[in-house]
Amino acid sequence: MSPRLPAAVEIVEVGPRDGLQNEPTVLPIAAKVDFIERALAAGIRRVEVASFVSPRRVPAMADAEGVLAGLSKRPGVHYVGLVLNRRGFDRALAAGCSEIGMAVFATDTFNERNQGATTAASIAAWLEIAAAAHAAGIRPQITVSAAFGCPFEGEVAAARVVDIATRVAAGRPVEIALADTIGVGVPSQVTELIGRVREALPGMPVRCHFHNTRNTGLANAYAAVAAGAVALDASIGGIGGCPFAPAATGNIPTEDLVYMLARMGIATGIDLEALLGTSRWLQEQLGRPVPGALVKAGSFPGARAVA
Ligand code: ZN
């Protein structure tokens, strides 16, 4: 029996942050703003625009405030700022983000490497930040990173991810994201993990974040949608990587994902041709081909009618 598929799925464009952060070419502010404007023109309504972290740690994101300053507020559009601590939250709020995202890693080793704290300490920080976001009238969301496997600790037990999801849910996020940070997940694992998180947290929307490192990204995206994920992260062109996993490739390419969903009859509200144009533009900006498949192969007539 084929799974019941939703009529629509929300796409969160993470190219300007997760993508560009891990590219060797650092784009100037004007090009980053242009990138975001192009994504919005294609119909994307949530964009992860920058991370508000120490510029010493992530030099490519040192201009986060400058990027936000270049964007105009639009109704129905959310500019997401990634934060790791209260200081980052205060910066994202001051810069005008309408949504903040935070990540906690499913293993202590990865969390220590990324955030210099245990997973439990980062969960405590998240709960404080989430409360501050609610008080400020902006949307908090949380990602459980390395939920499908860790480069340091190996396999991650589903029970551990469910336990973390349950604890971060106390911050009343708009959704909980499960991230395959290093691209090791497979569809059966996606089905199981989403099923267990949804069982533990009825009514909590689940988003997924996949990297295509081992070419399972789109298969995982299909499994996620079939298992009830309501939103997926993707990056135009599939740009990006992971500084902790040298061989890691980028996120699933937004245009490849939108193509697949459109031909399956799942609406995203995104104009595929506009995405392809942006992907080609991005290749020029980065001075190299992007990993996505559709930008090389082109679309197919059946995918044009996107609602
Ligand atoms: Zn990522």
Quote the tokens at residue 211.
């990297």
> How high is the pLDDT of residue 240?
85
Separation of CA 236 and ligand 1 centre (Å): 13
Residue type present at position 46 = R
d(CA 91, CA 129) in angstroms, rounded, equals 12
d(CA 66, CA 121) in angstroms, rounded, equals 30
Catalytic-role residue among 97, 150, 208, 242: 242
Is the entire prediction scored with pTM above 0.85?
Answer: yes
d(CA 34, CA 276) in angstroms, rounded, equals 15
Helix (H, G, I), strand (E, B) or coil at 214: coil
What residues are neighbours of ligand 1 (ion), with CB under 5 Å? 18
Per the annotation, the verdict on 208 as an active-site residue is no
Separation of CA 114 and ligand 1 centre (Å): 13
Residue linked to tokens 């300490």: 121
Separation of CA 184 and ligand 1 centre (Å): 12
Separation of CA 180 and ligand 1 centre (Å): 7
- Taking the domain 10-297, which CATH number applies? 3.20.20.70
* CB within 8 Å of 232: residues ≥ 6 apart: 9, 10, 11, 12, 207, 208, 209, 210, 221, 224, 225, 252, 257
Q: How do strand 206-210 and strand 46-52 relate by DSSP bridges? A: unpaired
| 25 close to 45: Cβ distance less than 8 angstroms | no
d(CA 240, CA 22) in angstroms, rounded, equals 5
For the chain, what are the domain ranges? Answer: 10-297
**How confident is the prediction along the chain (307 residues), in pLDDT tens digits per residue?**
567 899 999 999 999 999 998 888 889 999 999 999 999 999 999 999 999 998 888 887 889 999 999 999 999 999 999 999 999 999 999 999 999 999 999 999 999 998 999 999 999 999 999 999 999 999 999 999 999 999 999 999 999 999 999 999 999 999 999 999 999 999 999 999 999 999 999 999 999 999 999 999 999 999 999 999 999 999 999 998 655 555 667 999 999 999 999 999 999 999 999 999 999 999 999 998 999 999 999 998 766 544 4
For residue 93, give the nearest of 124, 48, 32, 138 by alpha carbon.
138
> How high is the pLDDT of residue 305?
47
Separation of CA 301 and ligand 1 centre (Å): 31
